[in-house]
Structures are given as C-alpha cells and as structure tokens.
C-alpha cells in the first residue's frame, strides 16, 4: 500500500493559473464601482446582494462548467442546497446562509450577505473551493488539467519541489484524502486481479471513496495558505477526478458487454480493468515517491485498449458504440500516466 505524505510538485509556467492563482488577496482592494456592485437584498431587510464580475467584458470562459458542477456535486453535503447545470454554465449553492450564484463567464452573485466585507469573504471561499475548475489563461484548460500535465504546456520544466503534508496546518486533511483514494484503488485492483470486479458490485462504494477524496482536496484548498497549497489540493482533486472518469467508463463497458455476454470481450475488459487501477496507483506512486521500482508499463494499457477496440470493430455492432466513445476518454487519462512516467524518469 502506498503511503502518501508528500508530493513531487512540478514547476508550472509563470502564466499558468497554478502559479498565478487568482490573486485572491487583491479582492479586498477591489474598487467599489469597478468589479463589485452592492445593492440591498429585496427579500431580507438589512442584508445586501453583491455582484462581482471577473469576465472583464471578454467572452473567454472563467470556469470549466463540467469540472465546476463535478466539484459542487462532490461537496454537496456541505451545502444546504445546490444545483448545477453544466449545459448552461451556471450553478448555485446555499452555503453558510449565503446564496451564491456562479456563472461560467466569471460573474458571481452573493445574496443575503451582511455587508460588503462579508460578501467578499464568501466570494473568496467560493473561489478557493472551485479553484481547480478555473480556466488557465496559458493553455485554456481548467487548472485541474494543468496540475496533472494533461495540457502539456503548463509544466514548464522538469524540476520538482517536494511538498510535505506535515508542513501544512491542515495537512492531515490531505493525508485523509490521499488515503481514501489509495485504499479504494488498491481494493479495486485486488478485485480486478481476482476477476471479481463485476460480481463485487464495487462501483458504488468506490465512487463514494473517490468523492470523499475530492471533498478533502476541496476542504484543504478552502483553508490552505499560499499558492503552493492550492496546487497540492488541485492535484488530489485531479487524481480523484481521473479515477472517477475511469470508473464511469468502466460502468458503461460492463453494462454493454455483460448484456451481450461476449466472453472474449469480457476477458479483455477484465484485463483493462486491472490496467486501469494499476495505472492510477502507479501515477500516485510517481507523484508521491518518484518511485519507478515496479515493472508496470502504462503504455501496455493503451495496447489492451487497442485490442478491445479492434475486437469491437470486428464485431461491427452498434451496441458497442458507447464503448468506442468511452475509449477516447480512457486514452486521454492513460496518456497522463505515460507523460509522468517519462517526465520523472
């Protein structure tokens, strides 16, 4: 079992959101009429409604709404109410008595705040919470993709600094998050190795543990001081999100292939399942220990995936279309592992 208590943090390009941050401190100096507009609440006397606009009139997206909604969903037990529609790029939460509306173009509305300072505090917390969904102006992808090197342009050079969790006052939260993720990945790998992944109906339990890990990443980001902490929080959230995506792809594949009862394809799928969880564990190992003393070859996963795609093409059945759609998503995830494999080596 991997014990994650530190991470190798890559150096990010100066213009990457992970280096720049949102300059949250500057929010306090926002001029009254420039970015923030305050008006009395219509529903509650004495309270105010604040409108903050980061769009700067440009049509560039401020948020990746798919990641944003995923984050809200992972954190929903902290909200009295929440709703998110990534199709229209809008989400709202009722959080600690404030009603917060968030638009993907960078507009925020905070209702039921006591005063201007209170509104800015709520905004500050909200932005930290969803930091990993903010768009990077260097590559145009969400911060969570930069953190895992998926954008291939934000990690500027191959030098690393070690971030020890014990140096952070809320480091135990990070540790919990990583533990929750690594434990469930190990159990998943074990089940897959014994050929019992499907019968064990492990998917739901795994989803809960992965969501827990993401929630801890968000809790950590909410309170951490400095930009370095936000990078680490984003990496944990990113790893959780990748596992979640693999899980969803796997669910689709299992449903289709078990429905068809095609033994040959099911056998390949079982190999793929092993590779999935093996790759995720391997990736965490590289990030946590730079440890490559293990003969796992992430590129083998791509070969298994190719075999599956080829068999599906040979079958020529439209029922398998869903699987083919999922394979490109999987390729994207596994390539991340290959990237780190070469990078740290």
Binding site for Zn ion (CB under 5 A): 16, 136, 138-139, 146, 151, 154
Q: Are 139 and 146 in contact (CB under 8 A)?
A: yes
Interacting residues of 73 by C-beta distance below 8 A, sequence separation 6+: 82, 84, 211
Shortest Cβ 121–Zn ion spacing (Å): 27
Shortest Cβ 161–Zn ion spacing (Å): 17
* β-strand partners of 162: 8
Q: What are phi and psi of 85, to 5 degrees?
A: -130, 105
Shortest Cβ 235–Zn ion spacing (Å): 13
Shortest Cβ 155–Zn ion spacing (Å): 8
Task: Give whichever of 97 and 140 is closer to Zn ion, judged by the CB atom.
Answer: 140
Task: Give whichever of 141 and 211 is closer to Zn ion, judged by the CB atom.
Answer: 141
> Under DSSP, is residue 275 helix (H, G, I), strand (E, B) or coil?
helix
Task: Give whichever of 98 and 150 is closer to Zn ion, judged by the CB atom.
Answer: 150
Neighbours of 167 (CB within 10 A): 11
Nearest to 344 by CA among 146, 189, 155, 174: 155
Task: Give whichever of 140 and 172 is closer to Zn ion, judged by the CB atom.
Answer: 140
> Under DSSP, is residue 183 helix (H, G, I), strand (E, B) or coil?
helix
Distance CA 224, CA 219 (A): 9
Shortest Cβ 149–Zn ion spacing (Å): 8
Nearest to 71 by CA among 142, 124, 130: 130
Task: Give whichever of 142 and 278 is closer to Zn ion, judged by the CB atom.
Answer: 142
């Amino acid at each position: 079992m991997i014990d994650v208590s530190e991470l190798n943090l890559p150096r990010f390009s100066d213009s990457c959101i992970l280096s720049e941050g949102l300059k949250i401190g500057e929010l306090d100096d926002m001029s009254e009429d420039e970015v923030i507009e305050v008006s009395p609440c219509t529903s509650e006397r004495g309270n105010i409604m604040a409108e903050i606009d980061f769009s700067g009139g440009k049509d560039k997206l401020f948020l990746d709404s798919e990641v944003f909604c995923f984050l809200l969903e992972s954190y929903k037990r902290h909200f009295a109410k929440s709703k998110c529609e990534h199709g229209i790029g809008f989400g709202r939460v009722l959080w600690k008595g404030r009603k917060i509306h968030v638009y993907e173009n960078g507009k925020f509305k905070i209702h039921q705040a006591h005063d201007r300072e209170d509104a800015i505090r709520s905004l500050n917390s909200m932005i930290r919470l969803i930091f990993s969904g903010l768009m990077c102006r260097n590559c145009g992808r969400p911060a969570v993709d930069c953190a895992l090197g998926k954008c291939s342009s934000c990690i500027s050079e191959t030098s690393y600094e070690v971030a020890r969790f014990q140096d952070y006052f809320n480091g135990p939260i990070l540790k919990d998050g990583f533990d929750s993720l690594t434990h469930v990945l190990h159990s998943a790998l074990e089940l897959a190795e014994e050929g019992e992944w499907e019968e064990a109906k492990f998917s739901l339990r795994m989803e809960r543990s992965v969501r827990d890990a993401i929630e801890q990443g968000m809790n950590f980001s909410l309170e951490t001081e400095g930009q370095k902490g936000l990078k680490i929080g984003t990496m944990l959230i990113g790893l959780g999100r990748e596992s979640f995506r693999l899980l969803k792809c796997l669910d689709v594949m299992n449903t289709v292939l078990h429905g068809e009862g095609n033994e040959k394809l099911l056998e390949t799928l079982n190999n793929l399942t092993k590779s999935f969880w093996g790759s995720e564990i391997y990736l965490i190992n590289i990030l946590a220990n730079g440890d490559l003393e293990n003969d796992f070859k992430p590129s083998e996963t791509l070969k298994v995936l190719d075999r599956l795609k080829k068999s599906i093409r040979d079958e020529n059945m439209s029922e398998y279309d869903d699987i083919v759609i999922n394979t490109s998503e999987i390729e994207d995830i596994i390539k991340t592992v290959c990237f780190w494999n070469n990078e740290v080596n």
